[in-house]
Amino acid sequence: MTEGVTRDRAPGLAFAFASALAFGGSGPFARPLIDAGIDPLHVTWLRLAGTALLLLPVAIRRRHALRAHPWLLLAYGVFPMAGVQAFYFAAISRVPVGVALLIEFLGPVLVLAWIRLVRRAPVSRAAVVGVVLAVAGLGCLVEVWAGVRLDAAGLALALGAAACQAGYFLLSDAAGRDVDPLAVISHGAIVATALITLLARPWTLPWELLAGTVRIAGVDTPAMVSVLWLVLVSTALAYVLGVAAVRRLSPVVAGAVAYLEVVTAIVLAWLMLGETLSPAQIAGAVVVAAGAFVAQTSVAPAPAPDHTPPAPSRSPRTPPPDSPPRTRHERTTTTHRTPPGGGGDPHTDLRRYCA
Q: Average the pLDDT over 201-218 and give the result.
A: 91
Q: How confident is the model at residue 108 (pLDDT cuts 50, 70, 90)?
A: confident
> 3 lies in a domain?
no
User: Model pTM?
Assistant: 0.70
- Closest residue by Cα to residue 173 from 246, 248, 79, 73: 246
Q: Could you tell me the end-to-end alpha-carbon distance of the chain, in angstroms, rounded to an integer? A: 39
Q: What is the spatial distance between Cα 130 and Cα 248, in angstroms, rounded to a whole number?
A: 18
Residue 320 pLDDT: 52
User: Residue 301: inside a domain, yes or no?
Assistant: no
Between 258 and 353, residue with greater pLDDT: 258
pLDDT digits (tens, 9 = 90+) for 310-325: 555 554 455 555 555 5
Residue bearing the bigger pLDDT, 8 or 66: 66
Mean per-residue pLDDT over the chain, rounded? 78
Sorted by sequence, the CB contacts under 8 Å of residue 280 that are 6+ apart come out as: 140, 143
Domain extent, residue 133, equals 15-296
pLDDT, mean of residues 103-123: 83
User: Using 50, 70 and 90 to split pLDDT, how confident is the model at 1?
Assistant: very low
Q: List C-alpha distances in Å: 77 to 46, 72, 171, 326.
A: 15, 9, 11, 76
Q: Is residue 86 part of a domain?
A: yes
> What per-residue confidence (pLDDT) applies to 116?
82
pLDDT exceeds 60 at position 328? no
317 found inside a domain: no
Q: What is the DSSP string of 113-139?
A: HIIIIIS-----HHHHHHHHHHHHHHH
Of the listed ranges 38-42, 102-106, 199-203, the least confidently predicted one is 102-106
- pLDDT at residue 54 in the model: 94
Cα–Cα distance, 45 to 202 (Å, whole number) = 7
**How much is the pLDDT for 45?**
94
Pairwise pLDDT comparison (305 vs 33), residue with the higher score: 33
Would you say residue 10 lies in a domain? no
Closest CA relative to residue 115, chosen from 103, 105, 127, 104:
127
Residue range 85-107: average pLDDT? 77
Residue 322 lies in a domain: no
Triad 207, 210, 212: Cα angle to 5°:
125
Q: Compute the radius of gyration of the chain from its Cα atoms.
A: 29
Within-domain flag for 330: no
Question: Could you tell me how far CA 157 lies from the centroid of its own chain?
Answer: 23
The beta-carbon contacts of 118-126 under 8 Å, at least 24 apart in sequence, are 119/2, 121/2, 121/3, 121/4, 122/2, 122/3, 122/4, 123/3, 123/4, 123/252, 124/3, 124/4, 124/298, 125/298, 126/294, 126/295, 126/297, 126/298
Give the per-residue pLDDT at 348: 35
Residue 303 forms part of a structural domain: no
Residue closest to 293 by CA, chosen among 85, 105, 20, 1: 20
pLDDT tens digits, residue range 67-78? 888 999 999 999
Q: Between these two residues, 201 and 108, which has the higher pLDDT value?
A: 201
Distances (CA, A) of 28 to 96, 119, 264, 268, 283: 18, 38, 10, 6, 21
Dump pLDDT digits (tens) for 146-162.
765 667 888 888 889 88
Q: Where are the alpha helices (DSSP H) in the chain?
A: 9-24, 26-35, 40-54, 56-61, 64-68, 70-76, 84-91, 97-104, 107-113, 125-141, 152-175, 181-200, 223-231, 238-248, 251-257, 260-272, 279-296, 328-335, 346-354
Between 319 and 234, name the one with better pLDDT: 234
Could you tell me which residue, 99 or 351, shows the higher pLDDT? 99
pLDDT exceeds 90 at position 221:
yes
Q: What is the pLDDT of residue 17?
A: 86
* Statement: residue 50 has pLDDT above 90: yes
Count of domains in the chain? 1
For the ranges 36-45, 96-105, 142-151, the lowest mean pLDDT is seen at 142-151
Model pLDDT, residue 134: 80
